[in-house]
């Protein structure tokens, strides 16, 4: 049976009230911990129940390997600790994983913050928890810099970044997505997160990332990806077979207001090839796309 708390989290993930790979992952982990703490079932009944609740979370955003990897870890631990007598051990293992995930995110933000020098202008697209953490860490160190955020249509997630940074005291400018070329000549760093990191070093991220990355390459502005290795897909075929989520056309133009026979496409993500990416900042350190490829495929080499 689906836990009411899990159902709420799933709906918030689907409706992008919870967004960003890191926030989605941590929200799901926290929800599953609470569900396990409440459960009084044993053995196969417990395992089936946990599996059902994990599946409802995973199904909401098919392009989120960070969520899948975390839920698979929890499921593997649940299989080893199915009985009530082992419940404390299971919860302890999951909480340790949750804490290590938070530490990894903090390490990524700390490494990336060291790249921001006084006077720099940093561009970001959409809303990434890791990018926001990085910018706040640099600000806390007394670095004087400026951030440019794209609106990120059609759901305007860039406004979340802009609002959060402004409240923190960081000098922030919001620009419309199509105006990036006008400002890129003055941008020193282009920071984004990644929803998926493929085994060849390419990434999938919020739609619009690819075209901005092309512009950054033209202006010799490094595109730097802030991501946990939990976002990595080890299957070499995933990039070919990964289906990009196509969201409701109502997000672009509400049905009652748009022409009756108008066709609208609303992909949630696009794919940025590795040759447009300067480097990855991960909990394992700073990696080039080639080095990240070796890290992801280390067991096959």
Q: What is the pLDDT along the chain (301 residues), one digit of tens a residue?
A: 899 999 999 999 988 888 888 889 999 999 999 999 999 898 999 999 999 999 999 998 777 788 888 899 999 999 998 888 889 999 999 999 999 999 999 999 999 999 999 999 999 999 999 999 999 999 999 999 999 999 999 999 999 999 999 999 999 999 999 999 999 999 999 999 999 999 889 999 999 999 999 999 999 999 999 999 888 886 655 555 568 889 999 999 999 999 999 999 999 999 999 999 999 999 999 999 989 888 877 755 5
Is 113 among the domain residues?
A: no
Residue 63 and residue 18 share a domain: yes
d(CA 33, CA 40): 13
Residue 271 and residue 183 share a domain: yes
Residue 122 and residue 102 share a domain: no
Task: Look up the pTM and report it.
Answer: 0.88
Residue 44 and residue 188 share a domain: no
Residue 225 and residue 283 share a domain: yes
Which CATH number does the domain housing residue 37 bear?
A: 1.20.120.420
Active-site annotation holder among 126, 149, 231, 232 = 126
Helix axes 129-140, 158-168, angle to 10 degrees: 20
Active-site annotation holder among 3, 49, 93, 195 = 195
* CA 160 to mean position of chain CA atoms: 14
Residue 176 and residue 63 share a domain: no
Total number of domains in the chain: 2
Residue 186 and residue 274 share a domain: yes
Number of H helices, E strands in the chain: 11, 10
Residue 165 and residue 267 share a domain: yes
Residue 18 and residue 147 share a domain: no
Among 107, 142, 158, the domain-final residue is 107
Q: Could you write out the three-class secondary structure of 241-257?
A: HCCCCECCHHHCCCCCC
Residue 128 and residue 64 share a domain: no
Residue 139 and residue 37 share a domain: no
Among 107, 137, 159, the domain-final residue is 107
Annotated catalytic residue 231? no
For the CA atoms of 279, 241, 67, 165, what is the dihedral angle to 10 degrees? Answer: 50
DSSP state of 183: H
Annotated catalytic residue 126? yes
Residue 300: per-residue pLDDT:
54
Which CATH number does the domain housing residue 279 bear?
A: 3.40.50.10470
Among 52, 72, 107, the domain-final residue is 107
Domain coverage including residue 9: 4-107
d(CA 100, CA 133): 16
Residue 149 and residue 72 share a domain: no
């Amino acid at each position: 049976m689906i836990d009411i708390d899990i159902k709420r989290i799933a709906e918030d993930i689907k409706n992008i009230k919870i967004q960003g790979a890191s926030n989605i992952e941590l929200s799901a982990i926290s929800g599953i911990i609470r569900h396990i703490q409440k459960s009084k079932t044993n053995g196969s009944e417990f395992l089936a129940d946990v599996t059902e609740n994990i599946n409802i979370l995973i199904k909401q955003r098919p392009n989120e390997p960070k969520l899948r990897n975390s839920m698979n870890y929890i499921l593997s631990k649940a299989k080893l600790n199915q009985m009530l007598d082992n419940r404390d051990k299971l919860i302890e293992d999951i909480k340790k994983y949750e804490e290590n995930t938070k530490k990894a995110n903090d390490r990524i933000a700390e490494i990336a913050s060291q790249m921001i020098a006084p006077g720099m202008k940093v561009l970001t697209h959409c809303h990434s928890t890791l990018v926001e953490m990085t910018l706040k860490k640099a600000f806390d160190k007394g670095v004087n810099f400026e951030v440019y955020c794209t609106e990120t249509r059609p759901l305007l997630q860039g406004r979340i970044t802009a609002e959060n940074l402004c409240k923190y005291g960081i000098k922030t400018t919001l620009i419309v997505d199509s105006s990036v070329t006008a400002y890129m000549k003055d941008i020193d760093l282009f920071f984004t997160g990644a929803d998926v990191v493929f085994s060849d070093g390419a990434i999938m991220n919020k739609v619009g990332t690819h075209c901005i990355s092309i512009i950054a390459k033209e202006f010799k502005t490094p595109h730097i990806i802030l991501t946990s290795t939990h976002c990595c897909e080890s299957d070499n075929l995933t990039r070919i077979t990964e289906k990009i989520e196509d969201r409701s056309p109502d997000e672009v133009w509400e049905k009652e207001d748009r022409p009756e026979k108008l066709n609208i496409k609303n992909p949630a993500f696009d794919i940025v090839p590795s040759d447009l990416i300067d480097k990855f900042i991960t909990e394992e350190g700073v990696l080039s796309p080639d080095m990240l490829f070796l890290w992801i495929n280390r067991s096959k080499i």
